[in-house]
Amino acid sequence: MSILIPSRQLFIDGEWREPVRKNRIPVINPATEQIIGDIPAATEEDVNIAVDAAHEALKRNGGKEWASASGAHRAKYLRAIASKIVEKKSELAKLEAIDCGKPLEEAAWDVDDVAGCFEYNADLAEELDRNQNASVALPMDTFKCHLIREPIGVVGLITPWNYPLLMATWKVAPAMAAGCAAILKPSELASLTCLELGEICREVGLPPGILNILTGLGQEAGAPLAAHPNVDKIAFTGSSATGSKVMTAAAQNVKPVTLELGGKSPIVVFDDVDIDKAVEWTLFGCFWTNGQICSATSRLLIHESISEEFLEKLVKWAKNIKICDPLEEGCRLGPVVSSGQYEKVLKFVSTAKSEGATILCGGERPQNLKKGFYMEPAIITNVTRSMEIWKEEVFGPVLCVKTFTTEEEAIELANDTHYGLGAAVISKDLERCERVSKGLEAGIVWINCSQPCFSQAPWGGKKRSGFGRELGERGLENYQNVKQFCNLTIFASLHVIMLRVAKLVSSYITHQQWCYDIK
């Protein structure tokens, strides 16, 4: 299948601009290990230009062009972008597949979700108009209070490579709906579709500077973006280690951050399940998107009474997963994204084996695939809680397994991690599902399934998986400031007002005395 790789520059102020230093980064197809194109490499100089463009975009025409325009006005652009994404679905899915190794069918699902996310945030933008000037009940009729929501300003959005366009959209769409101007910095390992989003914005006539896209290395582009004094907020999805650095940089300018970081999510399977269905969800929850999911339920906790039968089927079905070029029909597992990630995942498996774990299957290159960063899905048992494979995020097709006896033990094992993004519980006993779910330390709990995600529902974690929420109404709130207006409803002296206030709150007597003292 011949695929044209567009040659793009940086997208700044509505135009394609060559990086100041003119550097570029090769694009490597993880299925073939061949260079198939290149992307521009932004540096601090380009970040400065993009931030200036974003600020100018918000001030243009007194802000009426975007920041202070109606939500309905912004929604028209979001819907136009969604329409273009649908129109270019086939092209975008193919670019995604050859850029990050995602099976083509999954890439196509992602593009559908991208369009849906823009549409949903267009709805939220329109709803902003209806919810502006919300009144606040006060204990005194002498005052009236109402609230308005304003865009937080210029935002820096730093996104990962496992869902290149979708993870970018989770941030771009609500930021635009809220009235912000954004600088998107996608991962250098997979940026092709994010650059195409720039072309889509140009085609629909998005006002210049509202979305700027800077590809490049994290240290050269992402770090100066996070630390820039004129960026009002940072939203980051990626590793916990990098998230800590982003948070430190943002703290120097006391700017808010939203962090969606790593995970080591459990899937707890009780003894009353339909084993076939539970095996399906276990495989899907860990090996979907080549196992490269921050929320992957990569720790299987299974009741000891069904473990033998369950693992037998799990291994049999894992061996039947079709591993091949992402563009090949029926592909269910493609390559991991890069040589560096490939070596990292293989090392996790070899370390687990050296520490005494048992590799039931996988963890090696498929014999029929001599090129590409492919690995057979690994299932690892005899895992102890001190092992690296139990504690650390692999971000590849690797599942580790432990058994449990009681419900209390299952909860304790599930929470034995410094992450807290997702968790899954599988049981026919819905009351037990409810009890266990409440006991799990995670921001997202799936019951009798794993990995469903909807634009309407908030997404995020706790502990070292980060804080803040994306998606849903809370995702839009990330990009807003709330301003309070408090009005005096009758013209009266401060002395009269304070007399009335003092009857409600005794501390205001001090203010009453102050009024007397200045006369």
Which residues are part of the catalytic machinery?
Answer: 260
Distance of alpha carbon 234 from alpha carbon 470, whole angstroms: 13
Burial of 44 (0-12, 13-18, 19+ CB in 10 A): middle
Q: 400 forms bridges with which residues in the sheet?
A: 299, 380
Could you tell me which of 459, 460, 418, 420 has the C-alpha nearest to residue 439?
A: 420
CA distances from 79 to 19, 108, 173, 441, 503 (A): 30, 19, 10, 37, 53
Q: Which residues of 162-171 are buried (b: 16+ CB within 10 A; e: fewer)?
A: bbbbbbbbbb
394, 348 Cβ separation under 8 angstroms: yes
CA end-to-end distance (rounded Å), the chain: 86
471, 444 Cβ separation under 8 angstroms: no
118, 169 Cβ separation under 8 angstroms: yes
- DSSP state for residue 204 in the 8-state scheme: T
* Amino acid letter, 514: W
Distance of alpha carbon 475 from alpha carbon 478, whole angstroms: 5
**Sign of the torsion angle spanned by Cα atoms 208, 211, 215, 216:** positive
Cβ contacts of 197 within 8 Å, gap of 6 or more: 81, 165, 168, 169, 172, 184, 211, 213
134 in helix, strand or coil?
strand
